[in-house]
């Protein structure tokens, strides 16, 4: 976009605007600005915020990311607990009423937006029952609603994926061989079926975890969580955009995306020994 962070400031004298641009190095040629920014970025100097005077953009992210990380960890715990459990349960009850009900709920879960889930949660547990506050993140129960709203779609998705993978694994010859050896159903399910069914599931869960850790632009605003999501929106929509913070947070999200791809690729080798054997060949 043309201009500078101070172009849209109302009633700002031209002399003051020029002084501010000179202070932040915005009066130099674009090539010089770009090279200076890259050199400072490598050194860990990401600039100061245009909104919070005297506060670095790095300090703002360090203050907001722990909230988003806590929500992300709890959301992934919900995904692992409910998604895998209901997926395995539906597979073991294939074509029965419980299987159909589970798949119906999973389908609904993939179609309902997260902000609708958050609104319903607040309506029931805050307005009607008064069990949770409507704003802030002071104790553990304040994180349950945001984590569930963020993870609802992933729970439904992992449930369907786990069911499909389990049904495929249960039809394999080695499952029939394990049963013929006299192994208990629990051993067959945990050591043979579930472990092999997790090969396509675990990388998806890991990818969801990395994405959720980056924060939610909408859910954190609904619940009043001071995470990085609302800060990201505020840095763009303000009358004077916080360019430094926006660029750092964009780079931060990009790094998370690249790291998640690398971690997912490496995780395949730990889950499936055949991949490690193939790499040795």
Bridge partners, 56 (sequence order): 48
Single out the residue of 41, 36, 39, 12 nearest to residue 25, CA to CA.
36
The pLDDT profile of the chain, 281 residues, written as one tens digit per residue, is: 566 677 666 677 878 878 878 877 888 888 998 898 889 888 888 888 877 777 888 888 888 888 888 888 888 888 888 988 898 888 888 888 988 888 888 888 888 888 888 889 889 888 888 887 777 777 788 888 888 888 888 888 889 988 998 888 888 888 888 888 888 888 888 778 887 888 778 777 766 766 676 557 788 888 888 887 777 777 777 666 778 888 888 888 788 778 877 877 777 777 766 666 555 55
What is the three-state SS of 71-125? HHHHHHHHHHHHHHHHHHHHHHCCCCHHHHHHHHHHHHHHHCCHHHHHHHHHHHH
Q: Which pTM does this prediction carry? A: 0.75
Q: How far is CA 250 from CA 35, 232, 255, in A?
A: 18, 9, 9
141-162 as b/e: b if 16+ CB within 10 A: ebbbbbbbbbbbbbbbbbbbbb
On the 0-12 / 13-18 / 19+ scale of CB atoms within 10 A, 225 is: buried
CB 226 within 8 A of CB 66: no
Distance CA 138, CA 225 (A): 10
């Amino acid at each position: 976009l043309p201009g500078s962070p101070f172009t849209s400031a109302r009633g700002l004298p031209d002399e003051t605007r020029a002084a501010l641009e000179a202070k932040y190095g915005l009066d130099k040629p674009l090539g010089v600005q770009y090279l200076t920014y890259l050199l400072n970025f490598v050194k860990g100097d990401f600039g100061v915020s245009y909104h919070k005077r005297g506060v670095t953009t790095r300090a703002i992210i360090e203050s907001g990311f722990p909230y988003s990380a806590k929500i992300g960890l709890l959301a992934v715990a919900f995904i692992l607990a409910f998604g895998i459990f209901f997926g395995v349960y539906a597979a073991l009850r294939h074509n029965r009423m419980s299987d159909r009900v589970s798949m119906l709920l999973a389908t609904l879960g993939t179609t309902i937006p997260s902000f609708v889930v958050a609104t319903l949660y607040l309506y029931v547990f805050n307005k009607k029952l008064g069990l949770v506050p409507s704003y802030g993140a002071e104790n553990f129960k304040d994180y349950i609603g945001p984590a569930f709203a963020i993870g609802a779609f992933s729970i439904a998705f992992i449930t369907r994926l786990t069911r499909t993978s389990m049904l495929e694994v249960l039809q394999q010859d080695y499952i029939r061989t394990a049963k013929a050896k006299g192994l208990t159903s629990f051993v067959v399910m945990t050591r043979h079926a579930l472990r092999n069914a997790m090969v396509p599931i675990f990388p998806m869960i890991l990818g969801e975890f990395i994405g959720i850790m980056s924060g939610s632009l909408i859910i954190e605003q609904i619940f009043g969580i001071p995470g990085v999501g609302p800060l990201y929106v505020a840095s763009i929509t303000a009358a004077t955009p916080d360019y430094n913070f926006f660029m750092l947070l964009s780079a931060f999200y990009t790094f998370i995306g690249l790291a998640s791809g690398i971690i997912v690729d490496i995780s395949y080798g730990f889950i499936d020994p055949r991949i490690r054997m193939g790499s040795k060949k």
